C-alpha cells in the first residue's frame, strides 16, 4: 500500500501522542517511603506484611511510587527529602537523630501517615513517652491509656465530611476488626486537631474481654485525625485478629479486606502525596 507523505505525518503525530499519553499515565504522581519494625507482636507483623502487599498494588493502580524498609537508619534528612510522603506502619523511631530528622522533615512541609502502634507510648514500657513533640504536639494524643480486646470490628462515624480523606464515604463505615486505642489527652479540646472519624455509639459494647476494662460500653473515642499545622493523618487501624487461643497463630482478619476503609486510606494517600507536589 502506498502511503502519502501527508498520511505518514499524521500517523507519526498519532503514535507520538499515544506514547506521550502512556508515559504520562505511567509517571509517578508522588513517592512514598514506609518504615516498619515488624518484630515481637504477631498481629502487627501480620498487618505489616499485608500492608506492604496492599500498598504496592495500590501504588500501581494509582500511579505513585511505594518503597518500604525496616532500616530505620534511613530516617535521615538526605533520604527523606527524596520522598513526598512518609508512612510509619507499626512503630516510631527511637534514635535521637532519626527523631530530629523526622521532625525537621515535617516542619519543612513533609507529609506523614501513621497506623495503630505508631502512636503508642506508655511509661514505663519498651516505648516510653519520651518524645514530647511527637506525642503531645504532633499527634496530640499523649500516652496510650487503654484498649479494647479482642480485635473486633466497629462502626465508625464520619466527623468531618468536608475533608479530602473522607470524600465519597457514607455517614458511617464499618471498619475491619482491630484493637482500638484510647488516649491520655482529650483531642476534642485541642484546636489543632481535626477529628475525622470516631467510634459510633451503635458499636457499643465494643470488645469481648475477658477483662471488663477491655470492653467499652460508652464514651467518645477518636480513631482517625489530622493536625492542622502539619500534612499528616493518623489512623488507629493496624492490628489483625490472630488465632492465639488454638496455638496456630494464623491471621483471622485482614485490615485491607475492606473497600470502605480502603477508600479512606487511598483518599488520604492522594491528599497527602499530591498536596506535597
Which three cell numbers, joined as nine digits, stand for 75?
530516617
Q: How far apart are CA 229 and CA 265, in angstroms?
A: 20
* 13 has a pLDDT exceeding 80: no
pLDDT digits (tens, 9 = 90+) for 184-227: 999 999 999 999 999 999 999 999 999 999 999 999 999 999 99
Residue 6: predicted pLDDT:
54
Q: Which of 275, 229, 206 is nearest to 64 (CA)?
A: 275
% the chain with pLDDT above 90: 87
Do the strands 172-174 and 111-115 form a parallel or antiparallel pair, or are they unpaired? unpaired
Q: How far apart are CA 184 and CA 151, in angstroms?
A: 21
Q: Is the peptide bond before 209 cis (omega within 30 degrees of 0)?
A: no
Kindly write down the DSSP assignment for every residue of 114-132, as one continuous string: EEGGGG---SSSSS-S--H
Q: How far apart are CA 254 and CA 150, in angstroms?
A: 14
Residue 17: predicted pLDDT:
37
* 236 has a pLDDT exceeding 70: yes
pTM > 0.85: yes or no: yes
CB 138 within 8 A of CB 227: yes
Q: How far apart are CA 129 and CA 250, in angstroms?
A: 32
Residue 82 has phi, psi (to 5 degrees) of: -85, -10
Q: How far apart are CA 194 and CA 232, in angstroms?
A: 11
The arithmetic mean of pLDDT across residues 110-126, rounded, is: 98
Place of cell 508512612: 87
Helices within the chain (DSSP H only): 5-26, 42-62, 77-80, 96-107, 132, 259-275
Which three cell numbers, joined as nine digits, stand for 207?
470488645
Q: Where are the domains of the chain?
A: 30-275
CB 13 within 8 A of CB 6: no
- For residue 28, what pLDDT band results from cuts at 50, 70 and 90? confident
Q: How far apart are CA 33 and CA 65, in angstroms?
A: 8
Q: 30-275: which CATH topology?
A: Rossmann fold (3.40.50)
Amino acid at each position: 500500500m502506498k502511503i502519502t507523505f501527508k498520511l505518514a505525518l499524521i500517523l507519526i503525530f498519532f503514535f507520538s501522542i499515544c506514547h506521550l499519553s502512556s508515559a504520562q499515565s505511567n509517571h509517578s504522581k508522588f513517592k512514598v517511603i514506609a518504615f516498619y519494625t515488624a518484630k515481637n507482636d504477631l498481629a502487627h507483623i501480620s498487618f505489616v506484611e499485608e500492608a506492604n502487599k496492599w500498598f504496592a498494588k495500590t501504588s500501581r493502580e494509582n500511579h505513585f511510587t511505594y518503597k518500604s524498609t525496616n532500616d530505620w537508619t534511613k530516617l535521615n534528612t538526605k533520604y527523606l527529602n527524596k520522598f513526598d510522603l512518609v508512612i510509619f506502619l507499626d512503630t516510631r523511631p527511637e534514635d535521637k537523630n532519626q527523631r530530629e530528622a523526622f521532625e525537621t522533615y515535617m516542619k519543612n512541609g513533609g507529609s506523614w501517615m501513621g497506623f495503630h502502634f505508631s502512636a503508642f507510648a506508655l511509661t514505663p514500657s519498651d516505648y516510653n513517652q519520651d518524645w514530647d513533640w511527637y506525642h503531645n504536639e504532633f499527634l496530640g494524643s499523649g500516652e496510650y491509656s487503654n484498649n479494647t480486646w479482642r480485635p473486633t470490628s466497629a462502626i465508625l462515624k464520619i466527623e468531618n465530611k468536608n475533608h479530602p480523606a473522607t470524600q465519597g464515604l457514607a455517614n458511617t463505615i464499618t471498619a475491619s476488626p482491630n484493637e482500638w486505642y484510647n488516649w491520655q489527652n482529650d483531642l476534642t479540646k485541642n484546636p489543632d486537631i481535626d477529628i475525622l472519624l470516631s467510634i459510633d455509639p451503635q458499636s457499643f459494647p465494643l470488645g469481648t474481654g475477658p477483662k471488663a476494662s477491655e470492653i467499652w460500653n460508652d464514651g467518645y473515642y477518636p480513631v482517625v485525625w489530622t493536625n492542622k499545622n502539619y500534612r499528616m493523618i493518623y489512623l488507629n487501624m493496624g492490628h489483625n485478629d490472630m488465632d492465639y487461643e488454638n496455638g496456630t497463630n494464623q491471621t483471622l482478619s485482614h485490615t485491607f479486606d475492606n473497600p470502605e476503609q480502603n477508600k479512606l486510606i487511598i483518599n488520604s494517600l492522594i491528599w497527602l502525596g499530591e498536596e506535597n507536589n
